[in-house]
Structure 1
Amino acid sequence: MDLTVVAYIVYLLISVVLTVWVARTLSRNGRIFLADVLKGDEKLAEAVNHLLVVGFYLVNFGFVALYLRQDGTIDTVRHLVEGLSVKTGVVLLVLGVMHLGNVFVLGRIRRRGTPEREQRPPVPPQAWAPPAARM
């Protein structure tokens, strides 16, 4: 078997395993954050979490597929390892950027909803009081 084919297979295995692991980790640990962002609506948080995971898979698997092609030939094991490290590093960077993008957007949504929570008085006003006279 040609070393280029071996590189393709190893690259796909590493990329798929990393993408699935990151997506599951983010999904599992992001539920609480999403519930807070969405003001305690657990059902909506679960739906948004699922949609984010599907989008995460689509974008990352699409990138992995587009980045599969190897420009040069792989003649030695050294070239194989070097090529795999570059490709895996780029996939990890894309996964990290996707994660940071999600956290940034959700943080903005959360911050936008925070002033509404803080501006409401804890109890409704009981009566109106006229301003005090100046002395």
Structure 2
Amino acid sequence: MESSLNFIAYLIYLPIVIVLTWYVAHTLFKNSKVFMLDIFHGKTDIATATNKLFETGFYLLNLGFAFWVMEISSSIGNQRSLLEVLSAKIGGFCIYLGVMLFFNLYLFFRGRRKARAKSLTLAPVPTIEG
């Protein structure tokens, strides 16, 4: 019975973390197009390509982490233990995803700030002719 509950835990854990990762990535990178266009001064091709590369990296990093921490080291003996183990695993992964979301937002805002600062220093200064 114990090994079957561990297997059931894996069957519950995997779809949840995959869907959570997809949802966060989909929401983040759908909305980050605006930042990328601003960072790359409206150059759609480079903004879209960079956004797609960030999205791919986000999936690889987060799904890799989810699979890496998937192991349940103790035997699950009853349904209560099953729920407790799953809540710890999935809750920990949600916290990790939240940290990664805010880290990506930080990168987007930082890139936007640097792009704006660079465009201000490169902008021609108007001269007043008298």
Equivalent runs, 1:1-135 vs 2, <5 Å: 2-119=4-121, 120-121=123-124, 124-125=126-127, 127=129
Q: Which runs of 5+ in 2 are unaligned?
A: none
User: C-alpha offsets along residues 8-36 of structure 1, whole Å, 9 cap, x if unaligned?
Assistant: 11000100011111111112111112111
Q: Would you say the 8 A contact 2:40–2:46 is kept in 1? A: yes
**If each structure's helix is expressed as a fraction of its own residues, which one has the higher value?**
2
- Name which one, 1 or 2, has greater alpha-carbon Rg: 1
- Take 2:90 and 2:82, find their aligned partners in 1: how far apart are those partners? 12
Segments of structure 1 that go 5 or more residues without pairing to the other structure are: 130-135
CA distance in 2, matches of 1:21, 1:116: 33
Give the TM-score normalised by structure 1. 0.85
Matched residue of 1:68: which SS?
coil
- Give CA deviations for 1:49-80 in whole Å, capped at 9, x if unaligned: 11011101111111111111101111111111
CA distance in 1, matches of 2:24, 2:117: 32
RMSD of Structure 2 on Structure 1 (CA): 1.8
How many residues matched?
127
